[in-house]
Structure 1
Amino acid sequence: MSDPLKIQWDLNRLLIFVTVAKNGSLKSAATTLGMPQPAISRQIARLEIECKGRLFDRTGRGMSLTELGARMLPQIERVLSESEALTNQITATGGLPFGDVRIAALPSLYLTLMVPVFFLMRKRFPGIRLHFFEGSAGQIDQWLVTGHVDIGLPYRYGATMISDGEPLISADSCLVGPAGDKLTLNPSVHFSKLDGLPLILPSAPSGVRSTLNKLARKNMVTLNVIVEADSTQLQKAIVEKGGAYTVLPKLAIASELKGGQLQAARIIEPVIERTIILATTSAHPPSYAARSVAQAIREVAASSEVLQVSCH
């Protein structure tokens, strides 16, 4: 006869608890986990029933651990760590990798890199389940630090800023304008031509914004940022309708260039090179599955013709 007091712990529920505790709010945890807030609330409520007490105080500022929750947190983190270590040991000795791998990538990479990686992994290692997250370089860096993703693909600018990951793809920055625009009609455009142009750019402190601001000061160029948008899709839509110019790599506008909706000229004097790096979280050792996905990303990046094309 089974013990009615014995609890069968749900590891996914424990992971949700740790994520909420680390983020301090349901909204942030929902973004990190890619889950709706009501689903997270239900899981926390069920865990509180199992623990016979409240784990969080709900305040106007978010979620803070109760005394019980604070006592539970290190024990639950230890359970999750041991579970992951066991999974890694089994997968490493069992032949084919399996399990969940969380990848964070820039929005501009979804079509040229993430979709081919999905199909390659389904063919090669169907036991691996991929979780894709889109974010800015800053968001991806934060997710890597906290261990909420296993693999990140952020931008870096300049050769001195890629020591924290493996250089994967180099892409020059282009001035992007609408179809028929005279300034972006030629293959290249001098950085000085950005002086006074109406621009739509990401808000600070994004990497491209910081780089452009630094170059503008050095070259005595005035950047006329009339609107800020962290969404690449919104930037492209406004440019297409003639509302402003933006600065993007070719891989972010490949389909629009092919369809004739946008034009782009490579920015020169100086050239603004972006490097997409492949980085893994330092919060825990990469699993066999994560190492397999990282290798697939390298293969797709090396074989993709789209990623190697210049602005025109």
Structure 2
Amino acid sequence: MNYELWKIFLDAVELGSLSKVAMLHNTNQPQISRQMNELEAQCGGRLFNRTGRGVELTDLGQHLLPKIRSWLNVTDQLNNEILHSTDTPIGTVRIASLPSTAHPLLSTLYKVLQQKYPLIKLSVREGQGVHLEKWLEDGSVDLAILYRFNPTPKQGDVYLTEADTYLVGCEGDMLTQANEVDFKAVSELPLVTFCRPSNWRNFLDHMAYENGVELNIVFEADSISLQTHLVSESRMYTMLGPQALKKASQYTSIQAAKIINPALKRYISLSISKHGYLTPACKAVMEEIRNLADLL
């Protein structure tokens, strides 16, 4: 296994263009093409399809991608540990997070790591649940902080806290003036919520079916900012967790009531990629995230 060649392969995946990879490595495109041809010869098949726009992974390339990402990550970690100290957590830990849970949790985590583990670096990506799941699945990240809806943790998940769901209306809205509102009151309200595919949408559909609630989704948007502006200005409703609600309340005129009968519980989970192994740096970061769970 040629480490440098596979690093170039990964750069080509990320950039989608051999000419951009050549610029990144301060060389020319024919040189990068020769290196990719060498790699494909070793694999016994094409890794990329060349298109007018750049390069796209073949089925073989797609199959190898998560394994190569995992191998490169482990190799980098091993190199760091050999060069420095096997007793000291070192290296980059890649974390994916929902926008609503990133701050203050991860910004505080950085400060803690600077004090306790200065050789650990963080690489943080934000996205909605479906993106986080994909990044975990293909090995793009080591850890993810995301919502789960099953009260029992699975597949190594660590639940950090549980949260209620709130019906969000515009300021002065009669329905959301109370502290609590029955789930049945959501029936036929004009709703804005997240686009499919979405674990939240699946959970919401299931709970609506179980409780005889007719969902009237009139707008789909993954942006919480857009959702809450529509709620504030167009008299729609949405359903959010407390973290997203707190942030949205800072820039929009909204109010909210906790949904009960039944409560729509969500669990903030620290989840682990199925690829690779937990490096000392990952273990240290997981422990510190658990210690900071009260920030959620």
Q: TM-score, normalising length from structure 1?
A: 0.76
Tell me which amino acid in the other structure corresponds to 2:261. E
Q: 1:74 to 1:195 in 2, by over 3 A?
A: closer
Does 2:56 match 1:63? yes
Q: How many equivalent residue pairs?
A: 282
Does 2:33 match 1:48? yes
Partner of 1:4: none
Partner of 1:101: 93
- Is residue 187–residue 215 contact of structure 2 (8 Å, CA) maintained in 1? yes
- Is residue 200–residue 229 contact of structure 1 (8 Å, CA) maintained in 2? yes
Secondary structure, counterpart of 1:227 in structure 2: strand
The equivalences for 1:114-153 within 5 A come to 114-153=106-145
Q: 1:76 to 1:205 in 2, by over 3 A?
A: closer
Match of 2:223 among 212, 231, 241: 231
Deviation per CA, 1:10-36: give whole Å up to 9, x if none: 74x73351475xxxxx5xx35xxxx99
Deviation per CA, 1:236-277: give whole Å up to 9, x if none: 222232441111111112134367732111100110000011
Query: How far is the alpha carbon of 1:111 from its aligned partner?
Result: 1.9
The equivalences for 1:1-312 within 5 A come to 11=4, 14-15=6-7, 17-18=9-10, 26=13, 29=14, 39-40=20-21, 42-43=23-24, 45=29, 47-50=32-35, 56-59=48-51, 63-64=56-57, 80=72, 83-84=75-76, 86-87=78-79, 89-90=81-82, 93-160=85-152, 162-257=154-249, 261-302=253-294, 304=295, 307=296
- Is residue 156–residue 162 contact of structure 1 (8 Å, CA) maintained in 2? no
Q: 1:37 to 1:122 in 2, by over 3 A?
A: farther
Q: After alignment, is 119-128 or 285-294 more displaced?
A: 119-128
Q: 1:208 to 1:75 in 2, by over 3 A?
A: closer
Q: 1:162 to 1:261 in 2, by over 3 A?
A: farther
Q: 1:290 to 1:203 in 2, by over 3 A?
A: same
The CA RMSD measured in Å over matched residues stands at 3.6
Tell me which amino acid in the other structure corresponds to 1:267. I
Q: 1:117 to 1:241 in 2, by over 3 A?
A: farther
Secondary structure, counterpart of 2:219 in structure 1: strand
- Is residue 57–residue 66 contact of structure 1 (8 Å, CA) maintained in 2? no
CA–CA distance in structure 2, aligned partners of residues 66 and 198 of structure 1: 42
List runs of 5+ in structure 1 lacking aligned partners. Answer: 1-8, 21-25, 308-312
Q: After alignment, is 52-61 or 158-167 more displaced?
A: 52-61
Tell me which amino acid in the other structure corresponds to 2:33. E
Q: 1:36 to 1:63 in 2, by over 3 A?
A: closer
- Is residue 162–residue 277 contact of structure 1 (8 Å, CA) maintained in 2? no
CA–CA distance in structure 2, aligned partners of residues 91 and 246 of structure 1: 51
Query: How far is the alpha carbon of 1:112 from its aligned partner?
Result: 3.0
Q: TM-score, normalising length from structure 2?
A: 0.80
Query: How far is the alpha carbon of 1:208 from its aligned partner?
Result: 1.6
CA–CA distance in structure 2, aligned partners of residues 40 and 193 of structure 1: 55
Q: 1:277 to 1:130 in 2, by over 3 A?
A: same
Q: 1:75 to 1:128 in 2, by over 3 A?
A: closer
